[in-house]
């Protein structure tokens, strides 16, 4: 089978590459020989990753300090990317917020929608057109098993991830005829900074970022969506088949297990 670089082209853009799953995507795609554009707010981390990856893999890395919730993020990012042909787009940056809807900071909730939904939408619209002109490309969306049902104490996050799942699965059909493979990945709880940022507790049996990335890269080009991990696959299966009321109650109990306030 052809390599990712041969299938899609030489450059990958990874959002949220300064930590967790995004950093792991960057490391794996560097191993595959792709040149990288790495976007996040913490430029010190991106610069350290650039030094590491350029030295160990002989690739080119462009670090971009950018807040993807800013109104003008797209023109700024597009101008920095210039004419580098982005063959792989990983829409990874995102965060959740654990807690009662009425107690959560409304600005953080709104930023979650901008980061988890609007940024991937705008990036995909821009880069998919360029991929379509070249007749090849790949786009990966990071959704979540939270996308499969509404989740009390996690309502906005689950809604944003349902948006990503629908956007990604719909586009996988629409863009296939343009030569673009679209994959939506649904991780379950995974050990990253996500828990600290969103006020969740880390539970036992969590997956590692490299599990999620391995699942994603194995499925790219073969499926429209994939759930990472056997236990998470079981929950996805259950959530899609049981009566909605039961599933929401089960989700409330499940989320409570990851709550600092239980
Ligand atoms: N970990 C889990 O349990 C889990 C489960 C299901 C789905 N997911 C999804 O997986 C994706 C990656 O999450 P993760 O677990 O790797 O979380 P993480 O370790 O907290 O990493 C999040 C990344 O997003 C970036 N980011 C946050 N706000 C940003 C902003 N305004 N502009 C630009 N970049 C921003 C962060 O970089 P800066 O702070 O430097 O900007 C960081 O690189 C997310 O979409 C998440 O919803 C995670």
Question: What does 83-133 look like in DSSP terms, one character per residue?
Answer: T--EEEEEE-------S-TTTS-HHHHHHHHIIIIIHHHHHHHHHHHHHHH
* Strands of the chain, DSSP E: 11-15, 35-40, 61-65, 86-91, 137-142, 180-186, 225-227
Query: Closest Cα to atom 45, ligand 1: which residue?
Result: 94
Token pair, residue 36, equals 């990288």
Give the Å distance between the CA of 192 and the centre of ligand 1.
8
Residue 147 in contact with residue 202, Cβ under 8 Å? Answer: no
Map out the domains of the chain as residue ranges: 9-256
Q: Rounded to whole angstroms, how far apart are CA atoms 180 and 261?
A: 44
Q: What is the pLDDT of residue 256?
A: 83
Query: Closest Cα to atom 47, ligand 1: which residue?
Result: 94
Residue 258 in contact with residue 201, Cβ under 8 Å? Answer: yes
Q: For the whole model, what pTM was predicted? A: 0.97
Q: What is the pLDDT of residue 262?
A: 56
Fold that domain 9-256 belongs to in CATH: Rossmann fold (3.40.50)
Across the chain, mean pLDDT equals: 96
Q: What is the pLDDT of residue 205?
A: 84
Q: What is the pLDDT of residue 202?
A: 79
Q: Rounded to whole angstroms, how far apart are CA atoms 261 and 116?
A: 25
Say whether 8 is catalytic: no
Give the Å distance between the CA of 142 and the centre of ligand 1.
9
Give the Å distance between the CA of 79 and the centre of ligand 1.
23
Query: Closest Cα to atom 23, ligand 1: which residue?
Result: 16
Q: Which residues of the chain, if any, have pLDDT below 50? A: none
Q: Measured from the CA of 96, which atom of ligand 1 is nearest?
A: 47
Residue 182 in contact with residue 8, Cβ under 8 Å? Answer: no
Residue 34 in contact with residue 11, Cβ under 8 Å? Answer: yes
**Angle at Cα 190 formed by Cα 155 and Cα 147, nearest 5°?**
30
Q: What is the pLDDT of residue 93?
A: 98
Give the Å distance between the CA of 198 and the centre of ligand 1.
10
Give the Å distance between the CA of 73 and the centre of ligand 1.
17
Q: Rounded to whole angstroms, how far apart are CA atoms 120 and 94?
A: 10
Tell me, using a 6 A CB cutoff, whether residue 232 lines ligand 1.
no
Residues listed for the chain: 262
Residue in 17, 19, 97 to alter for ligand 1 test, most ligand atoms within 8 A of Cβ: 19
Query: Closest Cα to atom 41, ligand 1: which residue?
Result: 41
Tell me, using a 6 A CB cutoff, whether residue 189 lines ligand 1.
yes
3-state SS class at 226: strand
Neighbour tally for 162: CB within 10 Å: 19
Tell me, using a 6 A CB cutoff, whether residue 94 lines ligand 1.
yes
Tell me, using a 6 A CB cutoff, whether residue 184 lines ligand 1.
no
């Amino acid at each position: 089978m052809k390599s990712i670089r041969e299938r899609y082209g030489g450059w990958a853009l990874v959002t949220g590459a300064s930590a967790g799953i995004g950093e792991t995507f960057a490391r794996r795609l560097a191993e595959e020989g792709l040149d990288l554009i790495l976007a996040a707010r913490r430029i010190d981390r991106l610069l350290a990753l650039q030094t590491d990856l350029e030295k160990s893999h002989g690739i080119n890395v462009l670090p971009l300090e950018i807040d993807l919730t800013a109104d003008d993020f797209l023109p700024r990012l597009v101008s920095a990317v210039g004419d580098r042909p982005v063959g792989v787009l990983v829409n990874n940056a995102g965060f959740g917020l654990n807690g009662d809807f009425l107690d959560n900071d409304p600005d953080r909730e709104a930023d979650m929608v901008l980061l988890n939904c609007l940024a991937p939408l705008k990036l995909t619209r821009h880069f998919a057109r360029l991929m379509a002109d070249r007749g090849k490309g790949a786009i990966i969306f990071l959704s979540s098993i939270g996308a499969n049902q509404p989740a009390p104490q996690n309502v906005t996050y689950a809604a944003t991830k349902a948006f990503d799942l629908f956007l990604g699965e719909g586009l996988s059909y629409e863009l296939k005829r343009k030569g673009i493979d679209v994959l939506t990945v649904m991780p379950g709880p995974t050990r990253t900074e996500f828990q600290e940022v969103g006020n969740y507790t880390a539970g036992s049996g969590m997956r590692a970022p490299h599990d999620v990335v391995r699942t994603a890269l194995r499925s790219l080009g073969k499926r429209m969506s994939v759930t990472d991990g056997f236990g998470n696959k079981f929950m996805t299966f259950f959530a899609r088949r049981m009566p909605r009321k039961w599933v929401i109650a089960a989700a409330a109990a499940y989320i409570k297990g990851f709550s600092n306030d239980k």
